[in-house]
């Protein structure tokens, strides 16, 4: 998972101009209208994303009013539960996501230890933020003593100051309801709520909202070219969002293309099951409501939700 310290918005940016429309009734549009991409320097692109961030903060109230009138989509309790099962099948190889609070291992991807229900990482800032926020409310917790080490290894794959006791401390803390709740709160604050919010503003239905959420978890909510917002910007250069009058299916196809390429660029040879044999299958089947029963494959294993 990428760093999450760069951008944590309550209101999310719209990188390209367009009119917000109500979420279509989770059905793909028939039109397939692509917008042409304009060339720009990296500095110009970063400036545009920063401008979008400013816009998001200023227009939060209007966006809140719009979202309040839309269907719950992925935020509906049953759909949110399904979303956690789908993400967990990719992050922890099980749909029983509540068994993963205490999971922790270095999977050799350069991000240090990966832990918990959405794969918080010692090298990507989100695990550090989780422990810092948890410690504010529970100063005597078993992970607090590792905060200096977590700050030192942030941004690297180093275990310096964490071994040998950190993994045992994580597992022990994960037995406590307070730390389990903290993991869920951080997941929602950093990943789920921003992703669903922006997907709704882009006119996407339940499947599209999940596509954004899973990408946010994997790539991180950053405004740089490799973060979620950079990928969204690339996708919007290839196809219009439904909120801009484009085809929902065409836009999601473009987004998944961009995302899959980014995954391969970051980790050559990576298994892209979470895109190819899950999200693309749902999209090809026209399952824009992410309706159950649902069947997908992840790393060669088949999962079913009745």
Known catalytic residues?
91, 109
In this structure, what DSSP letter does residue 209 have? H
**DSSP notation for 78-131:** HHHHHHHHHHHHHHTS-S-GGG-TT-EEE-SSSS-EEETTTTEETTSSHHHHHH
Q: How far apart are CA 185 and CA 197, in angstroms?
A: 16
Strand pairing category for 113-115 and 301-305: unpaired
Q: SS3 for 13?
A: coil
The residue written with tokens 């993991």 in the block is: 183
| CA–CA dist 48, 100 (Å, integer) | 38
Q: Quick one: CA torsion of 42, 44, 46, 47, rounded to 10 degrees?
A: 160
Contact yes or no for 251/241 (Cβ under 8 A): yes
Question: What angle, rounded to 10 degrees, do the helices at 206-219 and 248-266 form?
Answer: 20
């Amino acid at each position: 998972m990428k760093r999450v310290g760069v951008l944590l918005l309550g209101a999310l940016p719209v990188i390209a101009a367009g009119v917000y429309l109500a979420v279509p009734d989770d059905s793909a549009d028939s039109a397939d209208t692509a917008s042409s991409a304009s060339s720009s320097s990296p500095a110009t692109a970063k400036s545009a994303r920063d401008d979008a961030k400013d816009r998001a903060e200023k227009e939060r109230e209007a966006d809140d009013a719009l979202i309040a009138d839309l269907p719950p989509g992925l935020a509906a309790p049953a759909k949110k539960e399904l979303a956690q099962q789908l993400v967990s099948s990719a992050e922890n190889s099980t749909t029983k996501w509540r068994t993963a609070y205490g999971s922790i291992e270095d999977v050799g991807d350069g991000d240090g230890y990966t832990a918990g229900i959405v794969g918080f990482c010692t090298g990507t800032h989100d695990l550090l933020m989780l422990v810092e926020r948890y410690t504010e409310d529970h100063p005597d917790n078993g992970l607090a003593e590792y905060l200096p080490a977590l700050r030192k290894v942030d941004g690297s794959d180093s275990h310096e100051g964490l071994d040998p006791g950190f993994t045992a401390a994580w597992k022990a803390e994960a037995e406590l309801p307070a730390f389990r709740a903290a993991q869920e709160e951080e997941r929602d604050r950093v990943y789920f709520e921003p992703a669903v919010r922006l997907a709704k503003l882009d006119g996407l239905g339940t499947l599209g909202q999940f596509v954004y959420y899973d990408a946010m978890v994997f790539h991180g909510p950053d405004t740089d070219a490799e973060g979620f917002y950079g990928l969204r910007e690339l996708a919007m250069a290839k196809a219009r969002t439904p909120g801009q009058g484009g085809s929902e299916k065409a836009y999601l196809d473009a987004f998944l293309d961009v995302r899959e390429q980014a995954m391969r660029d970051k980790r050559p040879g990576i298994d892209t099951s979470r895109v190819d044999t899950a999200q693309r299958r749902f999209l090809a089947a026209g399952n824009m409501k992410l309706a159950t029963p649902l069947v997908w494959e992840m790393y060669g294993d088949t999962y079913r939700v009745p």
